[in-house]
Amino acid sequence: MGETAGGGVSGAGAVAAMTSVGGVGGLNAASTTAGVRSGIVGDAIAWLNDPLNWTGKHGILALTVEHLGMSGAAVLLGVAFALPLGLWLGHRRRGGQLTVLLSNVSRAMPTLALLTLFASSAIGFGNRAVVIAAAIFAVPPILTNTFTGMLEVDADVRDAARGMGMGSWRLLWLVEVPLALPVIAAGVRTAAVQVVATVPLAALVAGGGLGVIINTGLATQRYGQVLAGGVLVAVLSMALEGLLAGAQRLLTPRFMTASRVRPRPVAAEPAG
């Protein structure tokens, strides 16, 4: 009976010891994880504060210019294809199903898969493959917004323009496009920001841009550099978003943004 009791006490002590060890181990693991995270953040700050990382052929400034160049070329290609098609279909008030089909097909194509296909084709590796893949990725928002903006032009306005003797082309460029311009600009803005955030994949196919920083950091296991590259891409995307939002506001006609002035209530005069 004493042995049983002694065995029970020793077993409870073992369980308590194991629990305490487990608790200490959990605290150590949590502190280690926190230390690793703070270490990565510190490494990222140190990497961004190093002047050598900002200059040179593979510095931040040169890679940013290359990144914006690829993004701009991709957006221009997307606009060259999607804008005329959206204007034509919207002006004719037809082709809604075609617009949805093209947009869905473009969205369903993974950019990384396209880059892999291009790398094994005559297009090859490098920035050209990235520009083409990003241009395909830019088509859906531009095409959808252009078609939608044209459809939202009031039919009464169109009829009034025709009543003034405007032909099809004058109606398109003098009435429909100016009224649809804010929606079209929103589509271009969305496409541009998406492309800037997607172009870092270029580093996976021997391309340039800010993705080189991230890819190099992953290859050398310098995760502070990876975080720094991600921060640079995010800051560039947000800066472009703000710039294009201001441009869209400037392109919006005043009568479409002016708030209506409500008449002030007039106090009733006392009778007699």
- Ramachandran bin of 253, using left for φ above 0, alpha for ψ from -120 to 50, beta for the remaining angles: beta
Count Cα atoms within 13 angstroms, Cβ side, for 83.
Answer: 17
Question: Domains in the chain, start-ordered, CATH in brackets?
Answer: 51-253 (1.10.3720.10)
Rg over CA atoms, the chain: 30
Crossing angle between the packed helical segments 96-108 and 127-151, to the nearest 10 degrees: 150
Q: What's 263's DSSP letter? A: P
Residue spans of the chain under pLDDT 70? 1-38, 255-272
Of 5, 131, 139, 4, nearest to 70 by C-alpha is 131
Cα 74 to chain centroid distance, Å, stands at 14
Q: What's 165's DSSP letter? A: T
CA-CA distance, 94 to 241, in Å (whole number)?
Answer: 31
Count other C-beta atoms under 10 Å from residue 25's C-beta. 10
- pLDDT tens-place string over residues 13-65: 444 443 444 544 444 444 445 455 568 999 999 999 999 999 988 899 999 99
Contact 111, 137 (CB under 8 A): yes
pTM: 0.76
Contact 163, 148 (CB under 8 A): no
Contact 202, 122 (CB under 8 A): no
CA-CA distance, 259 to 140, in Å (whole number)?
Answer: 32
